[in-house]
Amino acid sequence: MDDHPLVRESLVHLITREADLVVCAEADCVVSATAAVERHRPDLLLLDLRLRSGDSLELVKSVRARFPETRVLIISQQEETLFAERCLRAGADGYVTKQEASEEVLTAIRTVLNGEIYVSRKVAVLVFRRTVAQPADEKSRDVSKLTDRELHVFQQIGAGLSCSKIAADMKLSVKTIETHRENIKNKLSVEDSKQLAALAAKWVQTH
């Protein structure tokens, strides 16, 4: 499931050319993905972490609870380790980035279908580096305190997006995004929005 048609088409083409793999359905949002899983009961759900229409991490939790026989592999634009960790904690069986080569994606698919956990080497290295080399000032403002939705908003702020643009992308009200922003400031002990934007931008650049 991916909300970008070209990405979905590329994945479908990649998978259908393999003799041992079959695509049974496509979806562009959480609602249609849930319906597709319920109807087809696939062995594997490929899920984009950055869906604009719904919370993809909540979908992972829902699929794991309602359809435990369906494995979940996240294919994400993000290399940030916290996203990978949160996906696995939510119940995903694997995490691979869209920057990986086609063969790596196919390896991830087959690994997860075989009942194993898959994390790309690049993400595994980032997890190790973050664990052993996190600066003291970063620890004092550990973004792991943030909820999944707050982390998404924080990342968008760091990318330079305004509250109105974030709200449009996430299909939420501007007021809701502003509330998330205030909660983020409190959790990270940030005094104002300017300081938050600078902190978020630095975080995006270094992760």
Mean pLDDT of 178-194: 92
CB of 152 closer than 8 Å to CB of 199: no
Residue 17: per-residue pLDDT: 92
Tokens of 145: 């305190």
Domain ranges of the chain: 5-127, 136-206
Mean pLDDT of 40-49: 90
Higher pLDDT, 60 or 49: 60
Largest Cα span, the chain: 56
Instruction: Give 79's pLDDT tier (boundaries 50, 70, 90).
Output: low
How far apart, in whole angstroms, are the C-alpha atoms of residue 181 and residue 197?
Answer: 10
Average pLDDT, the chain: 83
- Residue 122 reports pLDDT greater than 50: yes
Instruction: Give 127's pLDDT tier (boundaries 50, 70, 90).
Output: low
The per-residue b/e assignment along 70-106, b for 16 or more CB within 10 angstroms, e otherwise, is bbbbbbbebbbbbbbbbbbebbbbbbbbbebeeebbb
Over residues 2-42, the pLDDT tens digits come to 555 667 788 888 999 999 999 999 888 888 889 999 999 99
Mean pLDDT of 62-84: 84
- Residue 106 reports pLDDT greater than 90: yes
Mean pLDDT of 61-73: 94
- The class that CATH gives domain 136-206 is mainly alpha
- Residue 71 reports pLDDT greater than 80: yes
DSSP state at residue 192: S
Neighbouring C-alpha atoms within 13 Å toward the C-beta of 203? 28
CATH architecture of the domain formed by 5-127: 3-Layer(aba) Sandwich (3.40)
Q: Where are the alpha helices (DSSP H) in 99-188?
A: 102-113, 121-133, 136-140, 148-158, 163-170, 174-187
Same fold yes or no, 5-127 and 136-206: no
- Residue 114 reports pLDDT greater than 70: yes
Residue 161: per-residue pLDDT: 93
